[in-house]
């Protein structure tokens, strides 16, 4: 028997994908600008870029390729590769924003746990190694099941737009 995994909302998302583009964002990076800087400077509304919060030195947005529903990225506005390249004000605001992201994720999703981490450098798994970013994502017992193990497929049951709405409403402050 063939099993079906219905995710009809993904069609619109996939239609927007193109080489070196971000769905719904279509940033036009300037020479030397990171993807995240292009998203931040795109001039598009936050509900289109999935930016959750903007601070003086940092901001947060949804991961467009989430590991789980509610996968948030927190990062400095300026592209830096390593933690030690952050100025003191940037570092302080970054970790305060990570805390706020955890608070929002817990309030919305009531997970069994939360992963917080940064992949520093390509060898450590960073997909965009030139712009430091911290991952905050809810985790539940059993969230890695047969679908992930056997089919290497993740089920994301919620659209990014709905996730954005929920997390912006729950963001502290």
Instruction: State the catalytic residues.
Output: 133
Residues 6+ apart with CB under 8 A from 160: 13, 50, 62, 64, 66
Residue 28's contacts (CB-CB under 8 Å, 6 or more residues apart) are: 38, 42
What are the strands of the beta sheet with 72-76, ordered from one edge? 51-54, 58-62, 72-76, 134-139, 113-117
Partners of residue 136 on adjacent β-strands: 72, 116
Q: How many CA atoms lie within 13 A of 65 on its CB side?
A: 7
Count of CB atoms situated within 10 Å of the CB of 92: 13
């Amino acid at each position: 028997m063939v099993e079906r995994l219905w995710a009809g909302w993904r069609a619109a998302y996939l239609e927007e994908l193109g080489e070196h583009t971000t769905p719904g964002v279509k940033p036009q990076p300037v020479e030397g600008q990171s993807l995240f800087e292009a998203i931040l400077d795109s001039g598009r509304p936050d509900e289109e870029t999935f930016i959750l919060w903007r601070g003086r030195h940092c901001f947060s947005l949804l991961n467009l390729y989430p590991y789980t529903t509610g996968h948030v990225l927190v990062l400095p506005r300026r592209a830096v590769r390593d933690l030690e390249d952050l100025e003191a004000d940037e570092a302080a605001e970054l970790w305060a924003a990570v805390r706020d992201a955890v608070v929002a994720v817990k309030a919305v999703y009531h997970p069994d746990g939360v992963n917080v981490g940064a992949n520093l450098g390509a060898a450590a798994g960073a997909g965009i190694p030139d712009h430091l970013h911290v991952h905050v994502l809810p985790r539940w017992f059993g969230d890695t099941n047969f679908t992930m193990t056997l089919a290497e497929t993740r089920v994301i049951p919620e659209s990014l737009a709905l996730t954005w709405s929920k997390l912006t409403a729950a963001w502290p402050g």
